[in-house]
Amino acid sequence: MSKPRVLVAHSDIPKKAIQLLQGRCDTIFCPGVRNPSREQLLSKIEGVDALFWFSKVKIDKELLDKAGPNLKVVATMSAGYDHIDVKEVKSRGIKIGITPKVLDAAVADVAMALALAVARRMPEGRQKIESKQWETSEPQWMLGQDFQESTVGIVGLGGIGQAIARRVKGFDIARLLYTGHSPKPEGEALNAEFVSLDELLKQSDFVFLACSLNSETVNLINKEALGKMKSNAILVNVSRGVLLPHLGSATLKTRTNMALLTVKNIFAALDGEPLPSSI
């Protein structure tokens, strides 16, 4: 009996995951290309049973038609899925696997690193050191902002937003605000206040964007929104690029876990079982 065929849309997937996948499936790559183009993927996609996706190439009607009726699952190595035509995929009975949660901690860590780097003016400080302009004898030189006793606002209290909230509370902040469609039990547990987006922007010293990309959040932070913020407020985006791309999940452990979960989603679909993480 032939093995299921899986098109892997990038050649630089963590080895542990590829080895697991190859133990059961025939893997198809675009030879000599790390990040294949749409045309290159179209040339390899016909007749596959599954897609292992780590690519900005959109999965749409054209790709699905070219893949053909054997395709059972689209497994993307990402938490977001705006690069997938979900309606078109689901209309064909094809399952969709994603990799949320496993990246929450890594993304939240990057969010804090970005906020602290800006608040304490670390990029500027490095430039001063490199240009030999370090002036530590000046008492008001390179002064930054404190997290302590500040107001922090989080736009989107999902898994990543909650992970950010847990981290900022360790800095003895004064208030923790969040916004979204409606209050969440998790917000109450974090002693966070649910407010409107306008109120959050007006009140916050630090604003973290951690919401998903959809029709409501595209260009969420525009000129008007920025105008509502404090003049010295710090804005940190760890959401999708069009809200305001990021490397939030770029740790060895997190990317490996994301790749392994992608493989598990593929195996579950091939076995006709519920996916560990799907939409």
The arrangement of strands across the sheet holding 151-155 comes to: 193-194, 175-179, 151-155, 206-209, 234-237
CA distance 9 to 37: 9
Task: Specify the pairing of strand 193-194 against strand 50-53.
Answer: unpaired
Encoding tokens for residue 51?
């897609």
Encoding tokens for residue 179?
């916004």
Residue 246 designated active-site: yes
- The catalytic residue among 10, 83, 181, 246 is 246
- What share of the chain in percent tops pLDDT 70? 95
Span 143-148, average pLDDT:
91
Span 152-157, average pLDDT:
95
Q: Mind listing the pLDDT tens digit for each residue in 208-235?
A: 998 876 667 677 788 999 999 999 999 9
Q: Mind listing the pLDDT tens digit for each residue in 170-201?
A: 999 999 999 988 999 999 999 999 999 999 99
From residue 111, give the alpha-carbon distance in Å to each of 4, 168, 239: 39, 10, 10
CA distance 120 to 217: 29
For the cut 60, the answer to whether the pLDDT of residue 241 exceeds it is: no
CB of 230 closer than 8 Å to CB of 204: yes
Question: Residue 175: what pLDDT?
Answer: 97
Q: What is the mean pLDDT of the chain?
A: 91
Encoding tokens for residue 148?
């302590």
Domains of the chain, earliest start first: 5-100+251-270 (3.40.50.720), 104-243 (3.40.50.720)
Handedness of CA 56, 62, 65, 66 (dihedral sign): negative
Question: Residue 66: what pLDDT?
Answer: 97
Encoding tokens for residue 248?
């939030």
Q: Please, which pLDDT band fits residue 133 given cuts at 50, 70 and 90? A: confident
CA distance 150 to 230: 12
Burial 216-253 (b: 16+ CB within 10 A, else e): ebeebbeeebeeebeeebbbbbbbbeebbeeebbebee
Least confident of 55-59, 61-65, 144-148, 210-214: 210-214
For the cut 90, the answer to whether the pLDDT of residue 142 exceeds it is: no
Least confident of 59-63, 120-124, 190-194: 120-124
Question: Residue 167: what pLDDT?
Answer: 97
Question: Residue 242: what pLDDT?
Answer: 44
Question: Residue 60: what pLDDT?
Answer: 96
Handedness of CA 115, 242, 166, 75 (dihedral sign): negative
Span 58-74, average pLDDT:
96
Helix ranges (DSSP H) in 176-221: 185-189, 197-203
Burial 135-152 (b: 16+ CB within 10 A, else e): eeeeeeeeeebebeebbb
Q: Please, which pLDDT band fits residue 243 given cuts at 50, 70 and 90? A: very low
For the cut 50, the answer to whether the pLDDT of residue 33 exceeds it is: yes
